[in-house]
A = this chain, B = another copy of it.
Amino acid sequence: MTETTSYDPAPPDIVRAAYGELVVGDLESARWFWVNVLGFVVTAASSSPKALYLRGYDELTHHNLILTEGRTPAAARLAYRVRTPDDLDRAERFHRERGCRTERVPAGATRGVGEAVRVEDPLGFTLEFFRDIEPAERLIQRYDLRRGGHIARIDHFNLMVPDVPASYRYYSSLGFGCSETIEDEDTLYAAWMYRKQTVHDVAFTGGAGPRLHHIGFFAHESHQVLHVCDILGSLHEEAHIERGPGRHGVSNAFYVYLRDPDGHRMEIYTSDYYTGDPDHPTYRWSVHDPRRRDFWGHEVVESWYKEGSAVLDLDGTPRPVSDSRIDESAVTVGADGLGIIRREPGAGTRTVSPPGARS
């Protein structure tokens, strides 16, 4: 946990990334993907709105994901749990002070969730802060029920943002520590930031935004990640596998990225590391290290860099998307692995940057 006392007003004491709400075009298709294939547990279903409340097998709270049927696929909001009821007030004051639109909603505004504060944050995302949530039946040891990817719990949000340094500053002011970055001498290309004692609760990918890049979920072992891919191949639905499985350089986690029927991206992720010590250091990757995005040196597919989910404001209207500033965007492309990497086995790896990458 990092020091949070230098900001005025004080930020809320955020515990962790808690849940996301995704708008999907057809709830039955979404149920097929998230429940039947990936094996998420259905805590509840509602008819108005037409929605599913899902969680992983280790999860002791009502949901980590809400799927709501709507006209246009989008990320409706991202929710953080806070430590005490007073942290709702802090969240409200903290964001008002920054000129953000805020809204207080009563218990039950989200099924299973207590009173909450919602804000349009400075980056353009709709966040929710809540303290109370209904407990869910303990399924940690119901191995008989596990299916698909044996999803244990939500881990993090990954945000596509035009301005990574601004995103880093905002989350620093909220008391997040920084576990890892991708940088060069001049530029911060990406950052991973945490409140709970893992590598991240939130991360930033440079790109047109605000958009949701993905929601990350934790599984316990790598064979569970492989098994999801095998199931998708069996069903001839392998096109849902966008990238991986592979080992991340950043975070060291073993991962796969999937796209749901609406194109929302999700990650299954295992084997990162503990970050709870008071002086936990930030590990800084050079943007020129080909292992930063894939430790085995595989190129990142272009869709992974370019596509994301629209985000909604407090009224449910899609937020306009800004491109990255031109200079940064060009660099970001190179930084994010779209440079031409020529492999010469036995002679190491040489990265040829695209034009403008260094200018």
- Residues of A near any B CB (own CB < 8 A): 1, 15-16, 29, 37, 58, 60-61, 81, 83-84, 131, 135, 138, 140-145, 152-153, 196-197, 220-223, 226-227, 229-242, 245, 247, 249, 252, 254, 259-263, 270-271, 273-274, 276-281, 283, 290-291, 295-298, 303, 343-349
> Would you list 29 pairs from A and B whose C-beta atoms are within 8 A, ordered by A residue?
A81-B278, A135-B281, A138-B283, A141-B233, A142-B234, A143-B233, A143-B234, A144-B234, A144-B235, A196-B274, A196-B276, A197-B276, A220-B221, A220-B270, A221-B271, A223-B223, A226-B254, A233-B296, A238-B290, A238-B295, A238-B296, A238-B297, A239-B297, A239-B343, A259-B345, A260-B345, A260-B346, A263-B345, A263-B346
| Interchain CA distance A14-B333 in the complex, whole Å | 43
Leading 4 A-B pairs by shortest Cβ distance: A238-B297, A259-B345, A261-B346, A143-B230
A227 contacts B143, C-beta separation under 8 Å: yes
| Interchain CA distance A16-B297 in the complex, whole Å | 35
| Interchain CA distance A58-B144 in the complex, whole Å | 22
B274 contacts A345, C-beta separation under 8 Å: no
Q: Give min CB distance, A9 to chain B, whole Å.
A: 21
Residues of B within 8 A of A232 (CB): 296
A278 contacts B247, C-beta separation under 8 Å: no
Residues of B within 8 A of A238 (CB): 290-291, 295-297, 349
Closest B residue to A232 by CB, please name it: B296
Which of B145, B277, B298 contacts A81 (CB under 8 A)?
B277
Q: Give min CB distance, A242 to chain B, whole Å.
A: 7
A229 contacts B242, C-beta separation under 8 Å: no
Residues of B within 8 A of A260 (CB): 345-346
B196 contacts A291, C-beta separation under 8 Å: no
Q: Give min CB distance, A281 to chain B, whole Å.
A: 7
Closest B residue to A264 by CB, please name it: B345
Which of B84, B144, B249, B270 contacts A231 (CB under 8 A)?
B144
Residues of B within 8 A of A140 (CB): 252, 273
Q: Give min CB distance, A292 to chain B, whole Å.
A: 11
Interface core residue of A29, A277, A345 (most chain B CB under 10 Å): A345
Closest B residue to A132 by CB, please name it: B279
| Interchain CA distance A291-B236 in the complex, whole Å | 8
Residues of B within 8 A of A221 (CB): 220-223, 271
Known: A229-B247, A245-B245. 13 other contacts (CB 8 A): A16-B276, A60-B281, A83-B278, A135-B281, A138-B283, A196-B274, A196-B276, A222-B223, A238-B297, A239-B349, A241-B298, A261-B345, A261-B346
Closest B residue to A224 by CB, please name it: B223
